[in-house]
Chains A and B, each alone.
Chain A
Amino acid sequence: MIFKQIFEANLTEKFANMVTVKLNRHLKKEGLELMKMKLGVEIVFINVTKFLIVFTVAALFGLLKEALFMSLIFGSVRKSAFGLHAKNSIVCTLVTLLMFVGGSYISHSIKLNNYLIFGIFAVLNFLLFKYAPADTENHPILGRKLRKKLRKEAVAVGILLMCLTMIVPNQLIKSLITLSVCYEVISILPISYKILNRGYKNYEKLERANS
């Protein structure tokens, strides 16, 4: 059963399968452990390949530092807030490029004062409190305790980033942080899910089926 699931896959998954099978020749894991190994390989592979492309393009435009910084901030919120994902790898690469390279470019022309930052982050943190974590069809967040913990974490990171943005004197850093958090919050809004016709609160169905 597990091997059947593992072998029904796309290109990224095929690579992950290949590596997992090779690794497992030595480790001889089974069941959940094997699934975790495959997932771990996929996580590393997808992130490395995507960001290799994104950072190469960013470097060509002379925006490497900005794109790196943006992805770091975006990742710190996304880790606990989750949010929308593209349905395939090509769309994903294009969206990521637009977000990080395009965002780095426009950040140079955005000027924000601390009052404006406070206002923007007040809205962003409220939205994080209300909508984080937002799961996907591929990764429903099961467990009330876990969702509560992730929400707390997301809001805490949001508040921390607000303080950091207000303290930092550099205009570019202020706009890079604000824009990154905006991207993340947009990806968790129910309206974004609705526009893209994606399932929201995917955990509900599964938890109902399990109870």
Chain B
Amino acid sequence: MKNLREQIVSMSEKFGSRLIGEIGNASIKIGDQSRGACFFLAAYEPKIPLELLKENIED
């Protein structure tokens, strides 16, 4: 019984960290693509870090 509970906990932990990893990587991809496109459809836009935009000159 205890073994089963441990298995469930470890499985959910694995799933959680994998999900977080996927969300994080997807965010990085969106952030990366937004350097060369306008992704803010609604009319408010936060400041994009210059360091990211400078990569466009180098590309």
Contact residues of A with B, CB < 8 Å? 5, 12-13, 20, 22-24, 26-27, 29, 32-33, 35-44, 46-47, 50-51, 54, 71, 74-75, 78-89, 91-93, 95-96, 99, 133, 136, 138-143, 145-146, 149-150, 206-207, 210
Contacts and interface: CB of A to CB of B under 8 A. Distances in A.
Interface in B20-59: 20-21, 23-32, 34, 36-57, 59
Q: Which 9 A-B pairs have the closest CB atoms?
A: A40-B27, A36-B31, A92-B44, A50-B42, A40-B31, A39-B31, A40-B30, A143-B56, A85-B45
Max chain B C-beta neighbours (<10 A), residue from A12, A33, A43, A207: A43
Given A32-B55, A35-B51, A142-B53, A46 B34 contact: no
A40 B34 contact: yes
A142 B42 contact: no
Interface residues of B, number: 37
Contacts, number: 146
Give the dominant DSSP class at B's interface.
helix
A20 B44 CA distance: 20
Given A37-B28, A40-B31, A146-B56, A92 B49 contact: no
B3 interface: no
A46 B49 CA distance: 17
Contacts of A146: 36, 56, 59
Nearest to A89: B44
Given A75-B41, A140-B53, A36 B46 contact: no
A7 to B, nearest CB: 13
B40 A43 contact: yes
B57 A36 contact: no
Given A39-B48, A40-B28, A139-B48, A27 B20 contact: yes
